[in-house]
DNA sequence: TTTAGATTAAACCTATAGGAATAATATGCT
DNA sequence: AGCATATTATTCCTATAGGTTTAATCTAAA
C-alpha cells in the first residue's frame, strides 16, 4: 500500500503544478485545501526540496514552488523515494536489488519472472506519468478506460 | 553552519562503517554510544535508507547496515542532502543554481568568482572524502596538518 | 516432530510541538 | 526623505510521541 507520505507528496505536487503560475504557495494553503495534516506536510515538502523537486522562498510572501516543469517530475520518482522500491520482491528491484536467499534457483524462479513483469509494467506506467499527465487526467471527465490516451 | 541532521547522519554513518562486519546495528546502540537523540536519529536513518545509503532489517535481530562499501559513500553527498547546497551563493551552485537578481553583471561579479572558488575547493574536499577516509582519520593520532595524506 | 500460536524485539509510519531563521513590510525617528 | 527598528508572515530546524508492521524465537498442542 502507498504510504501517506507518498500520497501526500503527490497531492501537494499536483496542487503546486496546477498553481505553478501563481507564485509561491503556502504550506497552509496546500494543507487546508487538500485536507493534509499541516506539520506532517511541512516535513514532506522539506524533503521534496532537498530532492530538488521543489524550491522555496522563506519569509513573508514566501512559499513553495516547483523546481522544474511538471512534465519533468515523474510519479515513479516520488513513489520510490517516499514509498520505497516498486518491486514486490527484492530480486527484481532495480534500485534495491538483492538476491532472495530462500529461493535456491534464482535464475529459474517463476515467482521472480512474474514479479519482474509486474515491476516492469508498474515502472513503465509510473515513470511515464508526470505531474503534467496527472493534471491533465484530473482536468478530464473520462474514467480509467481512456487513461491510455494520457500515458 | 552544518545542521544537526547532517552531523548526526555523518556520525551514525561513521559508526556503521566501523561496525560494518558485525551485522545489523541497532538504532539504540548508535544513539546511545554517539549521544544522539534516539527518535530524531530514527528519522535520519530512515531517510538514509531511502537514499540507498543504508539498508535495514526489520524485526528481532534486525538493525541498520551500510548499503555499499564505506569507500563509496561520500561526505559531499550526505552534506548536500541533509544540509543543502555547498555553495554560499546560488549563482555558483551546481545542484541548485540560480542567478542572483541583485547582481546586475552576473558574468563579471567578483563575489561570484571568489565564491565559486570556495565552492569548488569545498566540493573537492567533501566529495573526495568517503566514510573510509573518515574512519582512517579517526584511527590515526595526527592532527589536521597531515590530513592531506588521507584526501 | 511438526505446526500453530504467543511473545518479543526491532524498524517503520503518522503525526505534532515549539522555537529559530529569514524576509517583507510597516512604523517611527532624525 | 532616509534610515533604523519593530512587527509580522513565512519556511526551516530539532525533537518527540505513540502506535503498526515485520520477523525471529519460544511454547504448547496435535
Ligand atoms: S528469486 Fe526472488 S522470488 Fe525467487
Ligand atoms: S552574481 Fe551571484 S554573487 Fe554576484
Residue A145 has pLDDT above 60, yes or no: no
**Mean pLDDT, all residues of chain B:** 91
Residue A99 has pLDDT above 90, yes or no: no
Residues of A in contact with B47 (CB under 8 A): 47
> Of B38, B66, B94, at which residue does a domain stop?
B66
Take residue A61 and report the three cell numbers written for it: 510572501
User: What pLDDT is stored for residue B102 in this prediction?
Assistant: 74
Residue B142 (CA) to nucleotide C14 (C1'), in angstroms, measures 46
Residue A148 has pLDDT above 70, yes or no: no
Task: For residues B23 and B56, state if they share a domain.
Answer: yes
Residue A16 has pLDDT above 70, yes or no: yes
Q: Tell me what percent of the residues of chain B surpass a pLDDT of 70.
A: 93
Residue B24 (CA) to nucleotide C6 (C1'), in angstroms, measures 25
Among chain B residues, CA nearest to A83: B50
Which residues are CB-contacts of B123 (< 8 A; sequence separation ≥ 6)?
Answer: B76, B86, B94
CATH number where B24 lies: 1.10.10.10
Residue A143 has pLDDT above 80, yes or no: no
pLDDT band at residue A107 using 50, 70 and 90 as cut-offs: confident
Q: Chain C bases under 7 Å from protein CB? A: 8-18, 21-25
Split into its structural domains, chain A has a count of: 2
User: What pLDDT is stored for residue A151 in this prediction?
Assistant: 61
Q: Does some domain include residue B81?
A: no
State whether residue B87 is helix, strand or coil: coil
Task: For residues A41 and A93, state if they share a domain.
Answer: no
Q: What's the distance, CA A68 to chain centroid? A: 15
Task: For residues A51 and A98, state if they share a domain.
Answer: no
> Of B36, B66, B96, at which residue does a domain stop?
B66
Q: Which of A147-151, B123-127, B130-134 has the lowest mean pLDDT?
A: A147-151
Q: Is A114 in the pocket of ligand 1 (CB under 6 A)?
A: no
Q: Can you tell me the mean pLDDT for A59-86?
A: 95
Model pLDDT for residues A114-137, shown as the tens digit of each residue: 889 999 999 999 999 999 999 999
Q: Does some domain include residue B97?
A: yes
Question: Cα angle vertex B95, ends B90, B101, to 5°?
Answer: 25
Q: Does some domain include residue A41?
A: yes
Q: Which atom of ligand 1 lies nearest, measured to the CA of A92?
A: 2
Q: Does some domain include residue B95?
A: yes
Residue B80 has pLDDT above 80, yes or no: yes
Residue B148 has pLDDT above 90, yes or no: no
Q: Does some domain include residue A75?
A: no
Take residue A96 and report the three cell numbers written for it: 534495491
User: Hey, of B50, B56, B78, which one would you mutate to test binding to chain A, going by the most A CBs within 10 A of its CB?
Assistant: B50
Q: Can you tell me the mean pLDDT for B107-123?
A: 89
Q: Does some domain include residue B30?
A: yes
Q: Does some domain include residue A147?
A: no
Domain that holds residue B57: 4-66
Task: For residues A13 and A44, state if they share a domain.
Answer: yes
Task: For residues A13 and A55, state if they share a domain.
Answer: yes
Residues of A in contact with B55 (CB under 8 A): 96
Residue B62 has pLDDT above 70, yes or no: yes
Question: Cα angle vertex A25, ends A24, A31, to 5°?
Answer: 160
Query: What does the alpha-carbon distance between residue B41 and residue B19 come to, in Å, rounded to a whole number?
Result: 17
Q: Does some domain include residue A103?
A: yes
Contact between residue B36 and residue B30 where contact means Cβ atoms under 8 Å apart: yes
State whether residue A139 is helix, strand or coil: helix
pLDDT band at residue B151 using 50, 70 and 90 as cut-offs: low
Task: For residues A10 and A62, state if they share a domain.
Answer: yes
Strand A63-66 relative to strand B54-57, pairing? unpaired
Task: For residues B10 and B58, state if they share a domain.
Answer: yes
CB pairs under 8 A, 24+ apart, for B88-96?
Answer: B88/B115, B88/B118, B88/B119, B89/B115, B91/B115, B92/B116, B92/B119, B93/B119, B94/B119, B94/B123, B95/A52, B96/A52, B96/A55
Nearest alpha-carbon partner for A151 in A10, A16, A136 = A136
Model pLDDT for residues A20-36, shown as the tens digit of each residue: 999 999 999 999 999 99
Q: Can you tell me the mean pLDDT for B82-86?
A: 94
Amino acid at each position: 500500500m502507498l504510504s501517506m507520505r507518498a500520497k501526500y507528496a503527490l497531492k501537494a505536487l499536483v496542487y503546486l503544478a496546477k498553481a505553478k503560475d501563481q507564485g509561491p504557495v503556502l504550506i497552509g494553503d496546500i494543507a487546508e485545501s487538500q485536507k493534509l495534516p499541516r506539520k506532517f506536510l511541512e516535513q514532506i515538502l522539506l524533503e521534496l526540496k532537498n530532492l530538488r523537486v521543489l524550491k522555496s522562498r522563506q519569509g513573508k510572501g514566501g512559499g513553495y514552488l516547483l523546481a522544474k516543469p511538471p512534465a519533468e517530475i515523474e510519479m515513479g520518482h516520488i513513489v520510490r523515494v517516499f514509498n520505497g522500491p516498486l518491486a514486490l520482491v527484492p530480486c527484481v528491484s532495480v534500485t534495491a536489488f538483492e538476491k532472495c536467499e530462500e529461493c535456491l534457483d534464482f535464475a529459474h524462479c517463476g515467482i521472480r519472472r512474474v514479479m519482474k513483469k509486474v515491476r516492469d509494467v508498474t515502472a513503465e506506467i509510473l515513470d511515464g506519468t508526470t505531474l503534467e499527465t496527472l493534471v491533465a487526467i484530473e482536468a478530464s471527465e473520462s474514467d480509467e478506460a481512456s487513461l491510455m490516451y494520457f500515458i
